[in-house]
Amino acid sequence: MENYKNLFVLVDIKKEAIKKRINETFNTIFIDPDERFYFELNPSMSYMLDTGNDDARSEGMSYGMMMAVQMNRKDIFDRLWLFSKTFMYQKAGKYEGYFAWSVKPDGTKNAEGPAPDGEEYFALALFFAAARWGDGTEPFDYSVQARDILHHCVHQHELVKNGNPMWEPENYLVKFVPEVHFSDPSYHLPHFYEIFALRANESDRRFWKEAARASREYIAKSCHPITGMASEYAYYDGVSVEFSKKRQQFYSDSYRVAMNIGLDAAWFGDVPKLRACVNRLQTWLSENTELGKYDSYLLDGTPIGEEAMHPVAIIATTAAASLASDNKYRYDWVRDFWNTPLRKGKRRYYDNCLYFFCLLLLSGEYKIY
């Protein structure tokens, strides 16, 4: 898709101001000495620090790579990728071909298992890098690396002893982790899978096309019919997983669902079932909350008396949903997001990652390469 919508200009924000905001936000994340969370380990490797947990995660590393490729920063991209490949990539055992989801800033693993959202973002960022800069020598043969990641995601049970795939072979749905049989609604990225269906190994392309279809259906099932909220984890029928109270709630991971629906619409067009979900979410939040002051909620909107951990992320992702919504509040969310500053302090990592993605998305600068 080449005609990317810029919703900021529709609320009378000048293109020069939008470009300035994008560059300033990128600089805050990657350069600012006080607020950045990108750090160099050595001249050839860097990491994205989860400032709330003092670790580097496959989520954040792959997010940083996507930011870098969108901003045409091959230097940053390659440093992040080399750190990931050196310290997170598993070379043996049942996780061979996957990436450990958490390591210390020095690269020491905190965990062995992977988180599929990291693999998804790694793969697409690598495909985009190949398109922008061309494949180099290993490990910078980006498209080769991306195809290998995706092949393991689908075929781990065939490739590795005691291995488990990240997607269910029968229903094409991404799992929360390879060993379980339930999902995380925010891991569902049908717009990524559409691209995988064109660029993955040819034998896997039908799988990814089916995964895109199945994920759009799943997202619609997982969003509440009144509030539009999705839970952190949900079974394959969309019903919330009940092993932990917080996981039944509209909580941290859940906020990304709205952003994902917005990006899917921006790249591949309107899906009525998903439009209905974000219409409900924007309407419920507009009519039942005060901007920036959010509780944690049960999916029906009942507050549980616990302040939301990532309020800036809620604003950013709900605004990004305006690319898919058509309700009367959609442009209010765009304006409110524009007027919301980046988060500062200990918990800034997650909020500001999503802030930057949503800023790119709403300005028409989050592009397919």
> Which residues are known catalytic residues?
59, 253
Count, residues in the chain: 369
Name the residue among 344, 325, 331 with its Cα closest to residue 278: 325
Question: Residue for token digits 């990004």?
Answer: 320
Q: Do residues 94 and 163 touch, judged by C-beta distance below 8 A?
A: yes
Measured in degrees and rounded to the nearest 5, phi and psi for residue 263 equal -70, -35
Burial annotation 46-75 (CB, 10 A radius, 16+ → b, else e): bbbbbbbeebbbbbbbbbbbbbbbbbebee
Can you spell out the DSSP letters for 85-142? Answer: IIIIB--SSTTTTSB-SEE-TTS-BS-SS--HHHHHHHHHHHHHHHHHH---STT--H
d(CA 122, CA 204): 17
Bridge pairing between strands 249-250 and 295-298: antiparallel
DSSP 3-state assignment of 166? coil
Cα 133 to Cα 37, 72, 78, 140: the distances in Å are: 25, 9, 11, 10
d(CA 3, CA 349): 30
Cα 176 to Cα 36, 113, 131, 136: the distances in Å are: 29, 11, 29, 32
* Cis peptide preceding 43, ω within 30 of 0: no
Burial of residue 1, with CB atoms counted within 10 A of its CB: 0-12 exposed, 13-18 middle, 19 or more buried: exposed
